[in-house]
Structure 1
Amino acid sequence: MTGGVLEAVRTRRSWSKVTDEAPTHAELAEFVSAAGRVADHSALRPWRLIELRGADRERLAVAIAKAEGDKKPSSKPLRAPLLIAVVASYRKSKVPRWEQEAVASGVAHMLSLLLDDAGWGVFWRTGSATRAKAVAKAHGLTKDEELLGWLYVGGKPVRTKASRRKSVDASKHLSRMPQPKKARAHKA
């Protein structure tokens, strides 16, 4: 197998530290448009993304502190110049909630791959704050929405040594469906 997509997936990694550069809104919109092409039963598009820059990150820092019972704003949202909140926006449908959440997660993962391939550092942050009322309110979530986490995006810092994630051993995660047990011969 060859191709740009395979190579992008193989070289993807999380960047827990990023620089202060970030894609523009127009660049981000192009990536979001492409990421929205994930498999989506009934084409519900049960997701939305919220772009947080500048003061938005500071407001999130206050909301996280409130959720965690801290007096000082959290420093976490200030670790990247761009945060993208990933929201599962559930629709009334025959499609179950878990499948709709899987679509939203798929969009987030696809977006992270696209951003990484374009040269941006990305990592996905989750945690208990994603389910906190103060954080949901800060994001303007409705009763039919859940925050799945944030993609933190910035420039990739220069690395002095190569860091590569180990490949997955497919034999440990890929199997065939079990064969049925042979019927016992009936003894008369």
Structure 2
Amino acid sequence: MTGALEAVRDRRSWSKVTPEAPTHGELLPLVAAAGRVADHSSLRPWRLIELRGPDRDVLGRAINKAEGHKGASTKPLRAPLLIAVVSSPRKSSKVPKWEQEAVASGVAHMLSLLLDDAGWGVFWRTGSYTRSKAVAKAHGLKKNEELLGWLYVGGKPGRGRPGHRKPVDASRFLSRLPKKDDKHQ
């Protein structure tokens, strides 16, 4: 079994993390590696935004504004580091927007695997407010960009992994093309 297979198979979401977080310098090689996902025409239609300290309060106010509430949401305070995942499509006659958004999602997932493998707890959070004007403005998004959510990153609490996760039954999800005489229901 390879290290990559083991890392992917053992991946977990850590909904609760401790106050430690990787530094900007520690993130750079992980982001560089995550950026190696399959990317038709090498457009790199994504970007990431680090949110630390008071940036999380700014986001909390934007979330509450998007939800029609006053004050600041405490959701962004659940981790010391949030990494906003932004789909930033490029003009291309060959690569449609949906494919470019898939690349950005791939970068986020790859980065979450790399962070987990480096010993950090990670949870990818989304919400209806990810596409709100207030949250987009707080992140400085351009007109063509969309926020796909945030990787919440911090230390892994305790020594062990959280509870058992049921394995995926691959035979339910992997098939062949149907033969002409096969009937689908």
After TM superposition, the score normalised by the length of structure 2 is 0.95
Amino acid paired to 2:89: Y
Aligned to 1:185: none
- CA deviation string 1:4-55 (max 9, x = no partner): 1011011110000000000000011110000000000000000000000000
Aligned to 1:179: 179
In 2, distance between residues paired with 1:170 and 1:132?
36
Aligned to 1:58: 57
In 2, distance between residues paired with 1:18 and 1:159?
12
In 2, distance between residues paired with 1:120 and 1:129?
26
Following TM superposition, the consecutive aligned residue runs of length 4 or more in structure 1 with deviations greater than 2 angstroms are: 159-162
Aligned to 1:78: 77
Amino acid paired to 1:28: L
Aligned to 2:145: 145
Q: How many residues align?
A: 181
Amino acid paired to 1:99: E
Instruction: From the superposition, tell whether residues 169 and 75 of structure 1 become closer, same or farther in structure 2 (CA, over 3 Å).
Output: same
Query: Where does 1:112-151 land on structure 2 (aligned, <5 Å)?
Result: 112-151=112-151
For residue 181 of structure 1, report the CA deviation from its aligned partner: 2.6
Two-structure CA RMSD over aligned residues (Å): 1.3
Aligned to 1:186: none
**Larger C-alpha radius of gyration, 1 or 2?**
1
Instruction: From the superposition, tell whether residues 160 and 50 of structure 1 become closer, same or farther in structure 2 (CA, over 3 Å).
Output: closer
Amino acid paired to 1:7: E
In 2, distance between residues paired with 1:48 and 1:111?
12
Instruction: From the superposition, tell whether residues 154 and 92 of structure 1 become closer, same or farther in structure 2 (CA, over 3 Å).
Output: same
- Consecutive unaligned residues of structure 2, counting only runs of 5 or more, are none
Aligned to 2:8: 9
In 2, distance between residues paired with 1:132 and 1:56?
17
In 1, distance between residues paired with 2:81 and 2:38?
26
In 1, distance between residues paired with 2:45 and 2:161?
40
1:60 aligns to what SS in structure 2?
Answer: helix
- CA deviation string 1:63-100 (max 9, x = no partner): 00000011131110000000000000011102000000
Amino acid paired to 2:20: E
Q: Is the 8 A contact 1:11 1:164 kept in 2?
A: no
Are 1:102 and 2:102 an aligned pair?
yes
For residue 173 of structure 1, report the CA deviation from its aligned partner: 0.8
In 2, distance between residues paired with 1:93 and 1:79?
38
1:58 aligns to what SS in structure 2?
Answer: helix
In 2, distance between residues paired with 1:162 and 1:131?
31
1:6 aligns to what SS in structure 2?
Answer: helix
- Consecutive unaligned residues of structure 1, counting only runs of 5 or more, are 183-188
Aligned to 2:68: 69
